[in-house]
């Protein structure tokens, strides 16, 4: 059996209708997720008038993110695999499950979706600046990087186990729910420390529209590190090497 490999992809893949449809699905799904997720933060800020967030507010934001990611992964699942996250796409790329060309299309679509959702939020809330992600006072930036890496590892590992693993069987039917739940659970852990992005697009859209760039690099480095470790670990340590076609990138309909 040939070894699994990193796939660049063919030039014609860049203009193939399947690639365009998959990128469009990622754009819309990411916009849905960011609009609901960042919108929940803005609405609670409006309700509490800028007061320090309470435990109930943290739970509400986590639930909003969990439900919106559940929906976003579900609507994109049949066309793109429902990544809705550049870090998830990186994990799938390093595991040989998508080509580099498709990953680039996904990344562009996800970032654009987050920016459009943030713009729509600002327009529809009479100019409220998106809050985005910030490292809390007293939390070191490298502690935040480690926290983001660990949380993203859990997210991408769950994605691999429920949405990519060839032996997932009926587990694939609950993949969107499992992915949404692990995101919500991680937000309850990391929210008070660094906002718990686990998603560079989720951090980038509000940061650009709200122009809040403090410690923004944390939300790229941490998630990409965690996703890379999760993708490589699951692909090469958990999935048996003799799995038929395990070395070939999956088409969207194979997720």
Q: What is the largest CA-CA distance in the chain?
A: 61
Measured CA to CA, the distance from residue 9 to residue 226 in angstroms comes to 24
Per the structure block, which two tokens stand in for 3?
A: 């070894």
Pick the range with the lowest mean pLDDT from 153-157, 199-203, 246-250.
246-250
- Does residue 141 carry a pLDDT above 90? yes
Rounded Cα distance, 125 and 27, in Å? 22
What pLDDT sits at residue 10?
65
Residue of 22, 131, 29 whose CA lies nearest to 72: 29
- In this prediction, residue 13 carries a pLDDT of 67
pLDDT band at 246 (very low <50, low <70, confident <90, very high): very low
- Helices (H), ranges, the chain: 17-48, 55-80, 86-94, 100-124, 141-159, 175-194, 200-210, 218-233
Instruction: Give residue 158's pLDDT.
Output: 96
Tell me: the pLDDT tens digits for 159-187? 999 999 888 877 778 999 999 999 999 99
Residue 33 CB-density burial (10 A; 0-12 exposed, 13-18 middle, 19+ buried): buried
CB 81 within 8 A of CB 92: yes
Q: What is the pLDDT of residue 2?
A: 39
Closest CA to 216 of 227, 230, 229, 206: 206
Calculated CA dihedral for residues 165, 218, 101, 119, nearest 10 degrees: 110
Q: Residue 111's pLDDT is what? A: 98
- Which pLDDT score, from 0 to 100, does residue 173 have? 86
Percentage, residues of the chain above pLDDT 70: 86
- Cβ atoms of 246 and 4 closer than 8 Å: yes
Domains of the chain, earliest start first: 11-244 (1.20.1080.10)
| Phi–psi pair at 97, nearest 5 degrees | -90, -20
pLDDT tens, residue by residue, 88-133: 999 999 998 999 999 999 999 999 999 999 999 999 998 899 998 9
In this predicted structure, the answer to whether residue 248 has a pLDDT above a threshold of 60 is no
On the question of pLDDT at 199 being above 70, the answer is: yes
Specify the residue for token string 């309470």.
54
Residue 217 has pLDDT above 80, yes or no: yes
* Region 32-49 average pLDDT: 87
Do the beta carbons of residue 111 and residue 205 sit within 8 Å? Answer: yes
Counted residue by residue, the chain has a size of 255
- Residues 41-84 have pLDDT tens digits of 998 877 766 656 678 889 999 999 999 999 999 999 999 999 99
Q: What's the DSSP call for residue 12?
A: G
Does the pLDDT at position 231 exceed 70?
yes
pLDDT value at 255 more than 50? no
Query: Alpha helix locations (H) across 49-128?
Result: 55-80, 86-94, 100-124
Chain-wide mean pLDDT for the chain?
88
Q: Is the pLDDT of residue 4 over 80?
A: no
**Number of C-beta neighbours around residue 54 at 10 A:** 11
Residues of the chain above pLDDT 90, percent: 72
Of 222, 228, 204, 210, residue with least CA distance to 151: 222
């Amino acid at each position: 059996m040939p070894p699994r490999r990193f796939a660049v992809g063919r030039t014609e893949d860049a203009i193939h209708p399947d690639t365009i449809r998959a990128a469009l699905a990622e754009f819309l799904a990411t916009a849905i997720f960011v609009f609901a997720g960042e919108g929940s933060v803005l609405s609670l800020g409006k309700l509490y008038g800028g007061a320090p967030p309470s435990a109930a507010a943290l739970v509400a934001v986590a639930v909003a993110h969990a439900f919106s990611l559940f929906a976003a992964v579900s609507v994109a699942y049949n066309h793109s695999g429902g990544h809705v996250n550049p870090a998830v796409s990186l994990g799938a790329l390093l595991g040989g499950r998508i080509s580099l060309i498709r990953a680039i299309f996904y990344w562009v679509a996800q970032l654009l979706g987050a920016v459009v959702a943030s713009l729509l939020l600002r327009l529809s809330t009479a100019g409220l600046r998106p809050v985005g992600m910030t490292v809390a006072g007293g939390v070191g930036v490298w502690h935040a990087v480690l926290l983001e890496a660990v949380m993203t590892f859990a997210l991408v590992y769950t994605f691999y186990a429920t949405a990519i693993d060839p032996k997932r069987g009926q587990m694939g039917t609950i993949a969107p729910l499992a992915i949404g739940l692990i995101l919500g659970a991680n937000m309850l852990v990391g929210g008070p420390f660094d906002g718990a992005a686990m998603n560079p697009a989720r951090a980038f859209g509000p940061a650009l529209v709200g122009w809040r760039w403090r410690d923004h690099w944390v939300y790229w480095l941490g998630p990409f590190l965690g996703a890379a470790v999760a993708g490589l670990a699951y692909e090469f340590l958990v999935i048996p090497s003799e799995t038929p076609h395990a070395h070939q990138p999956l088409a969207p309909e194979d997720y």
